[in-house]
Chain A
Amino acid sequence: MPDVQQSPPYPMQASFASQWYMLKEDNLRLTSYNALASVRLEVRYRFVDTNGNLIPSQEAQVPNTDRTAKSSILITPEGWLLGGEVFVSGAAPLIGQTYVVLEIVRGTGSSALPLQVIAAGYVSAKQPLPFPGVQITSSLDSGGALRSITGATPGAGAEISETVPTGARWELLAFGANLVTSAAAANRMPVLTLDDGTTIYFRGPMNINEVASGTWSNYWTQGLLVSAAGPSNVINGAVPTGNRLGAGHRIRTVTSAIQAGDQWGTVQYLVREWLEGA
């Protein structure tokens, strides 16, 4: 790293305001990964410049809403970084929805050379991220954001397929959908499958015949061992306990004896979501 070797010497005669001394060409870089609309991040921090002046600063960033990275360079003076915080000033993200990384970089723009991560973690409406000197946390640490998602209603005779979005990791807690069977005589038997985007690695059958001309409420949840039928055509089945689905993995139905006039609908499922680079 020739740039680092050619840096001017550390001001050994000066009083040290903090251990975070930064040259004129050093800056802060804020990178965010966010899944919620209308989030606005604020960064406030204090510096002591080489003349001993205390300089407060404030910068803002509006993150992308599709879990892709967004980076902003915060231009800083030469001197000592005392500390600061990243907090949310718009919307109300949950832990699991807005993850930020703050680094010291040399230079500006996309070619800035990263030197040190000084903070990384989730921010929420109630939890700012202080820096420096806090423990760096992975985006997979935490309980995740609890989300109830309304899935797509497939065309008649088609199956349900829900995909874990790019940049997300899910734990599937519960999955519900209604199958309205046509008058065509056949015993339908839905199976909930999990796949890696191509190949199935789990099948959760209902083991109950869903006959013609009915509305069948199918619910798969963690913690059940076998499928069971209840009143009003309610049927319960199981998904693996503690499952984890990576980006691109799919939750699908594969229904034995499905007819062209059958209609899946009212697709609703509960997941824990974490952000994960991909």
Chain B
Amino acid sequence: MVECQSCGGRYEPIQPDGMEYYHRCPPLSAAELEAAVKDGRVELPKDETAEIAVQRRTYERSNARDENRPSTAPRTPGEMKAEGAGVVELDADPLTAPVVPVEMPPIAKQP
């Protein structure tokens, strides 16, 4: 499990089926855009709320990470479209694990 330092997204770089997962940061949500407007990091058109603005256009992070390959042509190993702020390794997240093993007593002692 890793955490993207650009958007806070958490994901497994290798899927359970053995295939690689390529993260790309999401555009700002209405809540994030509202915070950015309050901080003066972006300006909305006159009389437009953040709620409406995200319906009309996408607001991308300036440091967005995009792990996708630039093309399918032979390449430099590991090359990605945008590094962003990088990722940090996390311990496995029990809340997002799809399967959680539970220790079981012998069948005779089960309720």
Residues of A with Cβ closer than 8 Å to B? 33, 35-38, 65-71, 91, 97, 110, 147-161, 163, 165-167, 195, 198, 247-248, 250, 252, 254-260, 262, 265-266, 268, 277-278
Chain B positions within 8 Å of A147 at CB level: 17, 19
Besides A67-B69, A155-B7, A161-B25, 6 new A-B residue pairs in contact (Cβ under 8 A), listed by A number: A69-B74, A157-B31, A256-B51, A258-B30, A258-B31, A262-B31
In the complex, what distance in Å separates the CA atom of A246 from the CA atom of B62? 24
Interface size on B, residues (CB 8 A): 44
Is there contact, CB below 8 Å, between B69 and A167? yes
Contact of B73 with A by CB under 8 A:
yes
Is there contact, CB below 8 Å, between B32 and A153? no
- What are 19 inter-chain pairs, A to B, with CB distance below 8 A? A65-B20, A67-B69, A68-B71, A68-B72, A70-B74, A150-B98, A152-B23, A153-B11, A153-B96, A154-B8, A157-B32, A158-B32, A161-B24, A166-B68, A167-B72, A250-B24, A255-B30, A256-B30, A259-B31
Is there contact, CB below 8 Å, between B18 and A260? no
A149-B21 contact given A33-B72, A67-B72, CB 8 Å threshold: yes
- Smallest beta-carbon distance A182→chain B, Å: 10
Residues of B with Cβ closer than 8 Å to A? 4, 7-12, 14-32, 35, 51, 54-55, 58, 66, 68-75, 93, 95-96, 98
Chain A positions within 8 Å of B73 at CB level: 68-69
Chain B positions within 8 Å of A151 at CB level: 11
Chain B positions within 8 Å of A38 at CB level: 18
User: Chain A CB within 10 Å — which of B23, B30, B55, B96 has the most?
Assistant: B30
Taking a contact as CB atoms closer than 8 A, the residue among A37, A70, A157 that contacts B29 in the complex is A157
- Smallest beta-carbon distance A228→chain B, Å: 23
Is there contact, CB below 8 Å, between A163 and B51? no
| Interface secondary structure of A, over-half rule | loop
Chain B positions within 8 Å of A160 at CB level: 26
Chain A positions within 8 Å of B18 at CB level: 36-38, 91
In the complex, what distance in Å separates the CA atom of A148 from the CA atom of B70? 24
In the complex, what distance in Å separates the CA atom of A55 from the CA atom of B11? 50
A268-B10 contact given A67-B69, A278-B72, CB 8 Å threshold: no
Chain B positions within 8 Å of A157 at CB level: 29, 31-32
In the complex, what distance in Å separates the CA atom of A278 from the CA atom of B8? 29
- Smallest beta-carbon distance A169→chain B, Å: 12
Chain B positions within 8 Å of A259 at CB level: 31
Is there contact, CB below 8 Å, between B71 and A278? yes
- Smallest beta-carbon distance B77→chain A, Å: 8
Chain A positions within 8 Å of B55 at CB level: 254
- Smallest beta-carbon distance A186→chain B, Å: 10
Is there contact, CB below 8 Å, between B19 and A36? yes
A254-B54 contact given A158-B7, A158-B9, CB 8 Å threshold: yes
